[in-house]
Amino acid sequence: MSEVLSLPGRGNTYFYFTQMGEDGFSPAQQQYIRNLILAYRTRFPGLEITAVWDFGMEGGTPYENDKYGVFADCPDLAVSNRDMASISFNHIRVSRMPMDIPPDLLEKILTHYEAVKHISAMAARMRPELMSQGTPPAGILAAVNEEASKYLDEKGIPAEEIGGADHPGCIAPGPHNFLPLEDPYFADVWAIRQLEESMSIRRLTVHEIGHALSDVYDVSRDKRVRRLLAKCRDGFEDREEFCAECFMASELTDRIPLANETAAIYRACAKCTLQAFSERL
């Protein structure tokens, strides 16, 4: 089935979704994605998305193809293609997801974010003091862990929900966030990572729209983005992911300053492009 969405902005958006019963997108999920794209294209007239489809539409069978293998095992959930201005979804895996992030999960992430912020600031205060007393690194870690565990106990937050598996009592740099605990951006990156790992069609679609917007407005190459990323580089895979992840986070909540700052750069870049466009007319 294909359906075209015509808007006054840049070109049309064509939707192609495999019809396959229980394994693919339901009509309600398809409608939800269409509405999301419509809303963002209305907000950002420069947003160009030519096609939205699922992996099944890219060839092979609805369950597998050469590029991705068996869709149910493929780690990619969605892919945005800059050259084609398209977004494709792994319909097999994504169709199991809720449309939006459950409100109680969002609230939990934001409550934990406040705790992480507190612990990070505490670690930043403790480290220089302990170092000046000649405490060895292992002793500093143990002391920070102890204080962190005490604080989490007080707040009634299970430590393992915040720390990694190896450090249930504290927050340690992990594979997705290599910033040290006392880094001023540690907590913001932690919260963005939690949102990134929450599974919903909205989160996934908005992340891909973040890539598409960055492509049309050149956000990732903007000087302000480069400057901002330089401060928290170890928290992100690269500049493109930084932009898409911060944009996504800013759309789910306005409580993470790093995400808000990046979203403000998106808006500024969009305005510039719009101005340049109208001056050419």
**Exposure letters 79-100 (e unless 16+ CB within 10 A, then b):** bbeeeebbbbbbbbbbbebebe
Cβ of residue 17: shortest distance to Zn ion, in angstroms? 21
**Of 147 and 241, which CB lies nearer to Zn ion in the complex structure?**
241
Please identify, among the stretches 25-33, 106-114, 148-156, 237-245, the one whose residues bind Zn ion according to the rule CB under 5 A: 237-245
Q: How many residues bind Zn ion (CB under 5 A)?
A: 1
Residue (244 or 263) nearer to Zn ion, CB: 244
252 sits near Zn ion (criterion: CB under 5 A): no
State the minimum distance, in angstroms, from the CB of residue 245 to Zn ion: 7
| Spatial separation of the C-alpha atoms in residues 68 and 53, rounded to whole Å | 14
What is the Cα–Cα distance from 93 to 63, expressed in whole angstroms?
Answer: 10
Q: Is 269 in the site for Zn ion (CB under 5 A)?
A: no
Q: Shortest approach of Zn ion to residue 82 CB, angstroms?
A: 11
**Which residue spans within the chain are E strands per DSSP?**
2-6, 12-16, 51-54, 64-65, 69-70, 78-81, 86-89
Q: Does 219 bind Zn ion (CB under 5 A)?
A: no
Which residue's CB comes closest to Zn ion? Answer: 244
Segment lying near Zn ion (by CB under 5 A), choices 57-65, 184-192, 243-251, 254-262? 243-251
Does the footprint of Zn ion cover residue 204 (CB under 5 A)?
Answer: no
Tokens of 251: 């759309």
Q: According to CB under 5 A, which one of 201, 244, 246, 252 is a site residue for Zn ion?
A: 244
Cβ-defined contacts of 159-163 (< 8 Å, 24+): 161/112, 162/112, 162/115, 162/116, 162/119
Comparing CA positions, the residue from 118, 85, 98 lying closest to residue 13 is 85
Q: Closer to Zn ion at the Cβ: 76 or 153?
A: 76
Q: Which residues bind Zn ion (CB under 5 A)?
A: 244
